[in-house]
Amino acid sequence: MASEAAVSVMNASPLNASPLNARQSHLLDQLQAAGHELSGQDLHARLRSTPHCMGLATVYRHLRQLQQRGLVRCRHLPSGEALYAPTERDEHHLTCVDCGRTLPLRACPMHDVHLQPQQLDGFRLLFHTLEFFGICASCQERQDVP
Amino acid sequence: MASEAAVSVMNASPLNASPLNARQSHLLDQLQAAGHELSGQDLHARLRSTPHCMGLATVYRHLRQLQQRGLVRCRHLPSGEALYAPTERDEHHLTCVDCGRTLPLRACPMHDVHLQPQQLDGFRLLFHTLEFFGICASCQERQDVP
DNA sequence: ATCCAGCTGAGAATGATACTCATTCAATTC
DNA sequence: GAATTGAATGAGTATCATTCTCAGCTGGAT
């Protein structure tokens, strides 16, 4: 029997201390509207032709702040590029270490996972990234018959 | 009852088709001996003064190959730096989105997690990365009393 | 001895992200 | 309304890990 309640990895509520500023809201809107992950460069390009246009440095600045509030998560592709998505979209991926193809997983296998408070050492959980790596079917074939 | 056996995320056996070459063995040895993650630069520096010295490009080349065999996993820090560890060491982390401090988790919460084969779409699983992000105790304090 | 294929590494190229700092903006006070 | 002030902005630059290039090397096969 656990001495303390375990902490679901899913109940990481965003920090709502202060409201988002307009710039941050627009970035979050874009990420939500896109339906898939975007890089900092993508976001900058998408906003370029809108009234919410902002410099690249500002895009990165606000993405970092959104991340620190737990509203946005980012993952790195093997290429080094960072992709951002709203944390409310709990999507994770399977990536081929050979060709780099990436496949979204339909369900987050972490939904039922809990962490013990003593593992957290006072951390306030905001979000997690879970990525699987392997070799996709076509790269397996290519390797078998070179 | 599941129609097909679910696949444990832990049974990703390395690809042992061909033996490792000497360079790859030395890199793996270094990673195992270190007891903690190392960057490509770290590995290069550590080998510099040994008879197994090799160029930076070669370090990265072989790290990629070790990754493609499922022997090494890598995770990216928010700073963009990539850290490598042997996959046999099933260690994951809790990282502060504010100060960047990173804390190893004692146990992998994924040990009992399984994926359905239809989620894998033919992928051969090699390893996973699971990282938690949050705000560490001292950064929470600093935010509360600014 | 010669050939060849793959491996190597020094240096340059790349590219994403972070930094700098002069300018702009907004809110507040005279 | 004018002045003040601190924060936010962005164009350009710097940084730095990683990747690429390509000429030279190595070691096995002929």
Q: Is residue B61 predicted with pLDDT exceeding 70?
A: yes
Q: Show Cβ contacts of residue B103 under 8 Å, excluding neighbours closer than 6 positions.
A: A121, A123, B93, B94, B95, B136
Amino acid in position A57: A
State how far residue B136 is from chain A, nearest Cα, in angstroms.
4
pLDDT in tens, A27-48: 999 999 998 899 999 999 999 8
Contacts of A133 in chain B (CB under 8 A): 67, 73, 125-129
What's the Å distance between residue A11 CA and nucleotide C4 C1'? Answer: 61
The per-residue pLDDT for B119 is: 84
| Mean pLDDT value of segment B57-82 | 90
The per-residue pLDDT for B2 is: 45
Map residue B138 onto helix, strand or coil: helix
Map residue B124 onto helix, strand or coil: strand
* CATH (one of 3.30.470.10, 1.10.10.10, 2.60.40.60, 3.40.640.10) for A12-144: 1.10.10.10
pLDDT in tens, B99-140: 888 889 888 887 777 788 888 889 999 999 999 999 888 888
In contact, B95 and B83? CB cutoff 8 Å: no
Residues of chain A with pLDDT under 70: 1-4, 10-18, 144-146
Percentage above 90 pLDDT, chain A: 30
Amino acid in position A109: P
In contact, A86 and A28? CB cutoff 8 Å: yes
3-state secondary structure chain A: CCCCCCEECCCCCCCCCCCCCHHHHHHHHHHHHHCCCEEHHHHHHHHHCCCCCCCHHHHHHHHHHHHHCCCEEEEECCCCCEEEEECCCCCCEEEECCCCCEEECCCCCCCCCEECHHHHCCCEEEEEEEEEEEECHHHHHHHHCC
Q: With CB atoms and an 8 Å threshold, state whether A132 touches B110.
A: no
User: Which residues does B contribute to its contact with A (CB < 8 Å)?
Assistant: 9, 12, 67-68, 70, 73, 76, 78, 80, 82, 94, 96-98, 103, 105-107, 109-110, 113-115, 119-137, 140, 143
Longest dimension (CA), chain A: 58
The per-residue pLDDT for B146 is: 47
A56 touches strand C (CB under 7 A): yes
Tokens of A62: 């606000």
* CATH (one of 3.40.50.300, 1.10.10.10, 2.60.200.30, 3.30.420.40) for B15-144: 1.10.10.10
Domain boundaries, chain B: 15-144
pTM of the model: 0.86
Contacts of A127 in chain B (CB under 8 A): 132-134
Q: Show Cβ contacts of residue A54 under 8 Å, excluding neighbours closer than 6 positions.
A: A23, A44, A47
What whole-number distance in Å separates Cα of residue A139 and Cα of residue A58? 39
DSSP letter at B59 equals: H
Q: With CB atoms and an 8 Å threshold, state whether B131 touches A129.
A: yes
Q: Is residue B9 predicted with pLDDT exceeding 70?
A: yes
